[in-house]
Amino acid sequence: MLAELITEQWEYRELLVRMTARDLLLRYKQTVMGFGWAVFMPLVNTAIFSVIFTRVTTIDVGVPYPVFAFCGLVAWNFFASALRFSVTSLTSNPSLVTKVYFPREIFPFSAVLVSIVDFAVSLLVLVAMLAYYRIAPGSAVLWLPAVFTALVIFTAAIALFLSMANLFYRDVKYLFEIVIAVWMFATSVVYPISRVGGRLGALLALNPMTHLVDAFRDVLIAGRAPAGAFWITAAVSLLLFGAAWAAFHAAEFKFAENL
């Protein structure tokens, strides 16, 4: 079944490209900063958390804290931004969903692809920051494509579930904002989760985003290959993506009557 879904998606690849271009244009239309918004908020958050964790309380992360925080925020903001636009991707396009046939998963996939563009812009700023702090990525940076692919797959899986859930239950988009805020602080974005001990630490260690963010830092600023937990997370993400896509396709015939 998954092979059929991939084949169908490939047949409509041009539509996916057009949808992505449209969404990218709409996101930054009539904005002064344009793509600057992709790096503005991560930089602001980095500055805020740097004050907290270097002035108010001190935390040793092994590298300059702004690099640690910005690196985590680049990965996290891709994930959160893709989901934020995915959750309403079906409900904001009722005429297309109900009247024209094409794979409906194009909508959440388009949201993920648009966020990849934002991620690329933020990555350029991260490279400049690494140069400023004289942190040279080692050979482990060759693992970056694998790490980012796993992050995209996990993000796409959650995007499929969220877009489908919000179509059937419209309050999902409100609940999402609460969950995504809590989820960030349960992930190694601005502080190492490994510092949290006890049962809470053990629970937080099950968070797949922590292993993805940690792997992103490992290959870029720590100079080491992703840990074993990352590869387990990558395998689980692939299975989750297959399950999400199959569930999305199975529920697709009910979309029109719920819009």
For the entire predicted model, the pTM comes to 0.90
- Give residues with Cβ within 8 angstroms of 70, minimum separation 6: 42, 43, 46, 125, 126, 129
- Give residues with Cβ within 8 angstroms of 95, minimum separation 6: none
Q: What is the pLDDT along the chain (259 residues), one digit of tens a residue?
A: 667 777 877 888 888 888 888 888 777 665 655 666 667 777 787 788 788 877 777 787 888 989 999 999 999 999 999 999 999 988 887 877 777 777 888 999 999 999 998 899 889 889 999 999 999 888 999 999 999 999 999 999 999 999 999 999 988 999 999 999 999 999 999 888 888 878 888 888 899 999 999 999 999 998 899 988 999 999 999 999 999 999 998 888 788 676 6
- Give residues with Cβ within 8 angstroms of 218, minimum separation 6: 140, 143, 224, 225, 226, 227, 230
Token pair listed for 162: 């969220």
As a dihedral over the C-alpha atoms of residue 16, residue 22, residue 25, residue 30, rounded to 10 degrees, the angle is -160
Parse the chain into domains and list their residue ranges: 2-258
- Give residues with Cβ within 8 angstroms of 2, minimum separation 6: 242, 245, 246
The string of pLDDT tens digits covering residues 43-91 is 787 788 788 877 777 787 888 989 999 999 999 999 999 999 999 988 8
The string of pLDDT tens digits covering residues 7-25 is 877 888 888 888 888 888 7
